[in-house]
A and B are shown apart, each in its own frame.
Chain A
Amino acid sequence: MVQKSEKLTGLSRELMTLRIANELEDGTYVNLGIGIPTLVSNWIAGRDIVLQSEIGMLNTGPLAGPEDVDQDCINASCQAVTELPGACYFSDCESMAMIRGGYMDVAVMGALQVSEKGDFAGWNNPERGLPERIGNIGGSMDLAVGARKVILAMMHTTPEGALKIVKKCTYPLTAVGVVHLIVTDLAVIEVTPRGLVLKEVAPGITAEDVQSVTEPKLIISPELKEMQL
């Protein structure tokens, strides 16, 4: 694995997820994955965005406070959640059908690796050493192939500095060629048929900085700008 010793300081996880919230359009149905993507929900209160929980719920509200925990109302991370006006419940089977069926406008997902072709790996870190083909797949593969737009929310490198944006994923894939946009602590990168296009950099970060921690050669957008937060 390619290592990079230089440590770049980019956005906090909170600001990354603010940038992603700004990417979401009003009037859309959105599924937020476990981990960093869940934090996007902190930035969309009052917006015309409907959150889906893959357990079988639309119009999922904020996390429940201690007083309003309902053990029969949880999200896919097993956290007690509230319901917003207009909420509805359905079976997990129907939930996965609406995801696969193409009704989810956006899925925001975490990833361990993403390739220049838009392949990504997120369900199984081989370092865990589980037997082959075994791991926590959950709803990730269905979301990856079913959502109209897949946005990855991820740190640009691992805590040890290993590159996560690579020419070819070496970890077990979640899906092939599905990623549209990658938002990291350092950059916003679009996956295009020509390759990865660097569109925005975090404050204080240069295009050269981003390239130094990205394995594939980046295409610099003519409109390259600093992330608007």
Chain B
Amino acid sequence: MDKVYESIDEAVADIPDGASIAISGFFTAGTPVHLIRALARQGAKDLTLICQQVGPGNEDLTKLVLQGQVKKAVCTYPFYRSVTKGANSAFEKAVRAGKIELEVYPMGTFIEKLRAAAAGLAGFYTPTGVGTVVETGKEKRVFNGHEYLLETALKPDYALVYAWKGDRTGNLVCRKTARNYNPEMAAAARITIASVEEIVEPGELDSDKVHIPGIYVQRVVRVDRQDYIPTID
């Protein structure tokens, strides 16, 4: 079962207009920048992006906004922390102008929605957000004397993920905090496209140390490691 694509552009070529795409990365760490750039070259429109933020630590997503490819975003920490930087950001301007629809969830709810989809669950009850604006319009239920909100599963059409090493069958290994959203996003999507720094033959990864089982990954493409200094402000 060889899932390797030779070309990054080929790996994202079939993403249609209107697709929902989970894009991993916690600010700079574990972000599939090469795949995002390929998506910008490919030009699919009316996209729904499911990602931590659009902009801070991940300027490549801004290109999708500037090219008018984004219809909606589902995020947890969408904006720059700096009010000034935010006011100048293409994404924040588009959200303020109503050109991009934005849903924001607490971080644990955001990623649990994807995990639920990956695990075949319709939703889950969480204590997070009770008594805040997050509960607006959601079912509230009491278990053991405590209130919980019903949050529903979120299943993306595609996931773009990043890993340190992968084998030809899609087993992936991440490094340190670059793991972040990658495992659950990879598992949740119908089609997961993994960018990896090194592709090895089956059997070469330590089978006890695989972070993302290959069953969740449909395409693997090798990318060059891009060096940078982590920062958001």
Q: Measuring CB to CB, which residues of chain A are less than 8 angstroms from any residue of chain B?
A: 34, 53-57, 69-80, 83, 89-93, 96-97, 99-100, 119, 128, 130-142, 145-146, 172-177
Q: Please state if A141 and B79 are interface contacts (CB–CB under 8 Å).
A: no
Q: Please state if A100 and B126 are interface contacts (CB–CB under 8 Å).
A: yes
In the complex with contacts A138-B76, A138-B77, A173-B132, A91-B183 CB distance below 8 A: yes
In the complex with contacts A72-B30, A74-B230, A93-B112, A140-B177 CB distance below 8 A: no
Q: C-beta contact mask, B17-48 vs A, less than 8 Å → 1, else 0?
A: 00000000011111000000000000000000
Chain A residues within 8 Å of B78, by CB: 134-136
In the complex with contacts A132-B133, A176-B132, A74-B104 CB distance below 8 A: no
Question: What is the distance, in angstroms, from A15's C-beta to the closest C-beta of chain B?
Answer: 25
User: Number of B residues whose C-beta is below 8 Å from A?
Assistant: 56
Q: C-beta contact mask, B155-181 vs A, less than 8 Å → 1, else 0?
A: 000000000100000000001111111
Q: Please state if A89 and B129 are interface contacts (CB–CB under 8 Å).
A: no
Task: Please report the C-alpha to C-alpha distance between residue A208 and residue B175 in the assembled complex, in whole angstroms.
Answer: 53
Task: Please report the C-alpha to C-alpha distance between residue A133 and residue B182 in the assembled complex, in whole angstroms.
Answer: 27
Task: Please report the C-alpha to C-alpha distance between residue A177 and residue B127 in the assembled complex, in whole angstroms.
Answer: 13
Residue B141 lies at the interface, judged by CB distance under 8 Å to chain A:
no
Other 15 A-B pairs with CB < 8 A, given A97-B112, A134-B78: A56-B180, A71-B29, A74-B27, A78-B232, A80-B229, A80-B230, A83-B176, A93-B114, A130-B92, A133-B136, A137-B105, A137-B106, A142-B106, A146-B127, A146-B128
Least CB separation from A172: chain B residue: B133
Question: What is the distance, in angstroms, from B196's C-beta to the closest C-beta of chain A?
Answer: 13
Question: What is the distance, in angstroms, from A65's C-beta to the closest C-beta of chain B?
Answer: 12
Chain B residues within 8 Å of A91, by CB: 111, 179-184, 211
Least CB separation from A64: chain B residue: B230
Question: What is the distance, in angstroms, from A110's C-beta to the closest C-beta of chain B?
Answer: 11
Q: Please state if B132 and A74 are interface contacts (CB–CB under 8 Å).
A: no
Chain B residues within 8 Å of A119, by CB: 131
Q: Please state if A100 and B28 are interface contacts (CB–CB under 8 Å).
A: no
Q: Please state if A92 and B132 are interface contacts (CB–CB under 8 Å).
A: no
Chain A residues within 8 Å of B134, by CB: 133, 137, 141
Task: Count A-B pairs with CB separation below 8 Å.
Answer: 166
Of listed B129, B136, B176, residue having the most chain A CB within 10 A: B176
In the complex with contacts A134-B102, A138-B76, A139-B108, A70-B176 CB distance below 8 A: yes
Q: Please state if A93 and B231 are interface contacts (CB–CB under 8 Å).
A: no
Least CB separation from B146: chain A residue: A145
Q: Please state if B132 and A141 are interface contacts (CB–CB under 8 Å).
A: yes
In the complex with contacts A134-B104, A137-B76, A145-B130 CB distance below 8 A: yes
Residue B123 lies at the interface, judged by CB distance under 8 Å to chain A:
no
Q: Please state if B111 and A90 are interface contacts (CB–CB under 8 Å).
A: no
Q: Please state if B131 and A78 are interface contacts (CB–CB under 8 Å).
A: no
